Amino acid sequence: MSSIFTKIISGEIPSYKIAEDEKHYAFLDINPAAKGHTLCIPKREVDYFFDLKPNEIGELTKFSQKVARAIDRSLKPIRTGVIVEGMEVPHAHIHLIPIYKETQAFSLGKKVEVTEDGMRKLAQQIRQKVEL
Ligand code: AMP
């Protein structure tokens, strides 16, 4: 059975899309730890991040860097943090979480409320700054 993220890539499940290339897809996390929390995934469905091939980890990291730069340019956090966890969705992914304050809790356990309209606007803001 396809992962929920594979269904997002195919469009079967909607997402707040940020960017896409031949091998990767980026979209807003539906339950964000901070405004603009974005997930970057390989299109090839692999559960455990470290089961990706070394070159796939490299390519996914490069893709994520471009998306992080777009978050930096659009939302202007102090910097964008990175988490790889993968305990919930069995499809490797990199969390990009903007850090707006030095005191901000940096954890997937912390969530912020964002309206649907807010999510749409955040996705649009970031998308406009993506340079792949
Ligand atoms: P984890 O597997 O623990 O690294 O986290 C999986 C992440 O995927 C969580 O932060 C969820 O909020 C997020 N997530 C789950 N389903 C969706 C979805 N349909 N669209 C966007 N993000 C999702």
Secondary structure of residue 40 in the 3-state scheme: strand
Instruction: Give me ligand 1 centre to Cα 108, in Å.
Output: 10
pTM above 0.95?
A: yes
Residue 34 domain-assigned (yes or no): yes
- Report how far apart the first and last C-alpha atoms of the chain are (Å, whole number): 31
Asked if the structure places residue 132 within a domain, the reply is no
Is residue 16 a part of any domain in this protein?
Answer: yes
Domain that holds residue 110: 4-127
CA distances 89 to 45, 75, 104, 128, 130, Å, are 11, 26, 25, 28, 25
Q: What is the pLDDT along the chain (132 residues), one digit of tens a residue?
A: 899 999 999 999 999 999 999 999 999 999 999 999 999 999 999 999 999 999 999 999 999 999 999 999 999 999 999 999 999 999 999 999 999 999 999 999 999 999 999 999 999 999 999 999
Name the domain count of the chain: 1
Ligand 1 close to Cβ of residue 1 (< 6 A): no
The answer to whether the CB of 52 is under 6 A from ligand 1 is no
CATH number of the CATH domain containing 30: 3.30.428.10
Find out whether the beta carbon of 82 lies less than 6 Å from any atom of ligand 1.
no
b/e string for 31-48 if b means 16 or more Cβ within 10 A?
ebbbbbbbbbbbeeebee
Is residue 71 included in any domain, yes or no?
Answer: yes
| Helix intervals (H) in 37-98 | 54-75
* Buried b / exposed e along 6-21 (16+ C-beta atoms within 10 A): bebbeeeeebbbbbee
Residue whose CB lies within 8 A of the most ligand 1 atoms, among 88, 108, 120, for a mutation test: 88
- Residue 91 falls within a domain, yes or no? yes
Q: Which atom of ligand 1 is nearest to the CA of 95?
A: 4
Query: Is 17 part of any domain?
Result: yes
> What distance in angstroms lies between residue 128's CA and the mean position of ligand 1's atoms?
23
Cα distance between residue 102 and residue 47, in whole Å: 32
